[in-house]
Amino acid sequence: MGAIYDAEQEQYILAEKVRLGKLNIQNEDMVHKTISFSISEWALVQQIVNKNKLKNLTQGMRFCIWNTAIEEGLETG
């Protein structure tokens, strides 16, 4: 039996969960770290934010992390 959603639909669903704060994340302490990226890398994250209609770079990073984790089989979303 095939997948219910194709990859593009799965990404849209993930973006919606990120936008609405509905990821299955247990209450965890937030950690503030400094991240050093090149301007090009930040621009790519900003493009992901815009494409998926996310609110800010934090949501963009969260989307990237979760999307990769799902693709790698580390998380189910």
Q: What is the mean pLDDT of each run of 10 residues along the chain (77 residues)?
A: 75 87 71 89 96 94 91 83
Could you tell me if 64 and 48 are in contact, meaning their C-beta atoms sit under 8 angstroms apart?
yes
Residue 61 domain-assigned (yes or no): yes
45, part of any domain: yes
Residue 40 lies in a domain: yes
Query: How far apart are the C-alpha atoms of 72 and 53, rounded to whole Å?
Result: 24
Q: Is 25 part of any domain?
A: no
Q: How many CB atoms neighbour CB 52 within 10 A? A: 19
Residue with tokens 């994340």: 25
Domain extent, residue 76, equals: 36-77
In a domain, 15, yes or no: no
Distance of alpha carbon 20 from alpha carbon 26, whole angstroms: 15
Whether 29 maps to a domain, the answer reads no
How many whole angstroms separate alpha carbon 6 and alpha carbon 9? 5
Note the pLDDT of residue 29. 73
pTM above 0.85, yes or no: no
